[in-house]
C-alpha cells in the first residue's frame, strides 16, 4: 500500500508544533499550516515540541525580545536538540533572524542562537521598514520554493541578514539560500539540512505561502 502525498507512513497528517513562547498573534500561522496539510498544536511544552514531526518557530517584534523569550522558555535547547537529531525546524521572520550569531538594533548588539554565522542588522534602503509584496531569487533546486519560484511573498521587517558565509558541512548538502531585494540584497530564506527559515511571512502570503508551507509539511 502506498502512502498519500503529505501523509506519514501510518496514514496520519504530519504533526507540527508552533512553539508558543509569547511571540504574539501566531494563530494565522496555525491556520495556514492546517490548510497546508499539518495536524497543528500551539504549545510551549518542550516535550511536545521535541517529539513533533516539525517545529515552527514564529517571531514578531525585536530581535532581543525574541531571543530572551526563547531562552526563557528553553526554546533554544529545543531547537538544538531537534537539529542534532535531524528533526525539521522552520523559523519565520524574527524567528529566522535569531538563528544567526548576532543581531544589531539601534546600536545594541545581541547574541543570537548561533545556528548560522552572520549578523542581522538594518536593511539598506530608502524606505524602511520593507513592507509589502516582493519577489525572491530562489535556487533552482529549492524544495521550499518548488512550483512557486516566480511568486511574490509578503514581507514586513526593518532588519535582515545581508550576507551568507556558511558552506556545506557535516552530512548536509550545501545550504540553499534565497535572496530578495529592497534597496540592497538580503537573505529571504534558507534551507540548511533540517533547518529552514523565511524572512517573509508565508502565512500572510496567500496561496503561494500555503504552497511553500505544504512543500515543507510534505517533506516531514
Q: Distance between CA atoms of 113 and 31, rounded to whole angstroms?
A: 27
Domains, the chain, ranges and CATH? Answer: 15-218 (3.40.50.880)
Please say whether the dihedral angle defined by the alpha carbons of residues 192, 67, 212 and 42, taken in this order, is positive or negative: positive
Closest CA to 147 of 208, 91, 202, 219: 208
pTM of the predicted structure, to 2 decimals? 0.94
Q: Which residues are catalytic?
A: 93, 201, 203
CA 188 centroid distance within chain? 10
For 80-121, what is each residue's pLDDT tens digit? 999 999 999 999 999 999 999 999 999 999 999 999 999 999
pLDDT for 111-156, tens place per residue? 999 999 999 999 999 999 999 999 999 999 999 999 999 999 999 9
Amino acid at each position: 500500500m502506498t502512502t498519500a502525498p503529505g501523509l506519514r507512513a501510518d496514514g496520519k497528517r504530519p504533526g507540527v508544533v508552533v512553539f508558543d513562547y509569547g511571540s504574539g498573534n501566531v494563530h494565522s500561522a496555525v491556520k495556514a499550516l492546517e490548510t497546508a496539510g499539518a495536524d497543528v498544536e500551539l504549545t510551549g511544552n518542550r516535550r511536545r515540541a521535541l517529539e513533533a514531526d516539525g517545529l515552527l518557530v514564529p517571531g514578531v517584534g525585536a530581535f532581543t525580545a525574541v531571543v530572551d523569550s526563547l531562552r526563557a522558555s528553553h526554546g533554544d535547547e529545543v531547537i538544538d536538540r531537534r537539529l542534532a537529531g535531524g528533526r525539521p525546524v522552520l523559523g519565520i521572520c524574527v524567528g529566522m533572524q535569531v538563528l544567526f550569531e548576532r543581531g544589531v538594533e539601534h546600536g545594541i548588539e545581541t547574541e543570537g542562537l548561533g545556528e548560522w554565522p552572520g549578523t542581522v542588522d538594518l536593511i539598506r534602503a530608502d524606505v524602511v521598514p520593507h513592507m509589502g509584496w516582493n519577489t525572491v531569487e530562489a535556487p533552482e533546486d529549492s524544495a521550499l520554493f518548488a512550483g512557486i519560484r516566480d511568486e511574490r511573498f509578503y514581507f514586513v521587517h526593518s532588519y535582515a541578514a545581508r550576507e551568507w558565509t556558511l558552506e556545506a558541512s557535516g552530512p548536509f548538502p550545501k545550504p540553499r539560500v534565497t535572496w530578495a531585494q529592497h534597496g540592497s540584497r538580503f537573505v529571504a530564506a534558507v534551507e540548511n539540512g533540517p533547518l529552514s527559515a523565511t524572512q517573509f511571512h508565508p502565512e500572510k502570503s496567500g496561496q503561494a505561502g500555503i504552497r511553500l508551507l505544504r512543500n515543507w509539511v510534505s517533506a516531514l
